Structure 1
């Protein structure tokens, strides 16, 4: 879904009916578990959870006008996508997530480098995404981001 929304609330209002409940639940579990230092905003035309410039003035190296992205949540054409940059950058976190997902959900994990594709709305492990959101502080993410950037 390519959105022209300028706020998270507007983005959520535009969702098709079948996506509203799962997207609202995912958003809430992320907000409930995200450590301080992160901020919700619109980022890349989807819900974004970022380290704002007030915490990390350098911003994102690809476009320093943007805050440092951490997580994103989007309603795509055929699935809901949860993007988490930490699982892409931290192999131990990736291992934890893939193991926990397999323990909680029947069926195969559909995942790219940082993108988890959720196609079955009745099988979303909301608690797992809450735990994932809580696994890294803003400062830990900044440190990991900078360490990977310098490689």
Structure 2
């Protein structure tokens, strides 16, 4: 039943029919005291809570539900290279799970954003590999 509720929420979200919270730090459902019927949904938190049960065991399914959370999903997963695609010895990237969304997002841009977040978090080696996968060249 929960899966049906999540799918309904996704459909409502995609059609612009949800009233969303303005801060993802709020609880899942935020009701106005002056008008309890007027409630806002923390859609991000709802999806994250739902995928929590399988995010480490079913990466492909997690990406299907949380496309817009792909940056965190990639860097916190042990399956980084399965998601973004492996890099061969010549620096060419093989397709990964993320390539399924190539018509919706710029894959190299998404990987570059993950690389940037990884660099900020202090893992320079992984960040460098991710930058290579994103075809980003930089000079220091």
- TM bucket (normalised to shorter chain) is under 0.3
Higher RCO, 1 vs 2 (CA within 8 Å, ≥6 residues apart): 1
Larger Rg: 2
User: What is the TM-score of this pair, normalised by structure 2?
Assistant: 0.26
User: What is the TM-score of this pair, normalised by structure 1?
Assistant: 0.25
Structure showing the higher strand proportion among its residues:
1
